[in-house]
Amino acid sequence: MTHLTTHLLDATTGTPATGVSVALARLDGTPVAEGTTDVDGRLALGPDRLDDGDYALTFGTGAYFRGRGVTSFHPVVTVTFTVAGEAHLHVPLLLSPFAYSTYRGS
C-alpha cells in the first residue's frame, strides 16, 4: 500500500514550515487530497493506497513567506513524481525565499 508523507523545513530559520498548504493531484489535474503542514512541518496526504501513475504535490510557499513578511520568488513549488508500486513515499521540501530542494525520502 502506498502512503504519502511530506516534511517542510524553512532553511532560513532552521525550523519546521508550519501552516503551508499542500495539494496532491494526478498530473492530469484530478485532485486527490489537500492539507496543511502541522507544527512539525509534516503532513500525510491521500488515501492509504495511491494508484500507479504520475502525481504532483503543490506547496503554497508564497503565502507561507508572505504571512511572515518575507519577500520570496516562488509563489508555489510543484514537485512531480511517479508512483510505481512503492509501499511508502516521503517527499521532503527544504525551503528558502529564493530556492528549494527536494528528494525521495524514506
- Annotated binding-site ranges: 7, 42, 103
- Is the Cβ–Cβ distance between 65 and 71 less than 8 Å? yes
Cα distance between residue 44 and residue 34, in whole Å: 9
- Annotated binding-site ranges for substrate: 7, 42, 103
Q: Which of 20, 84, 12 is nearest to 57 (CA)?
A: 20
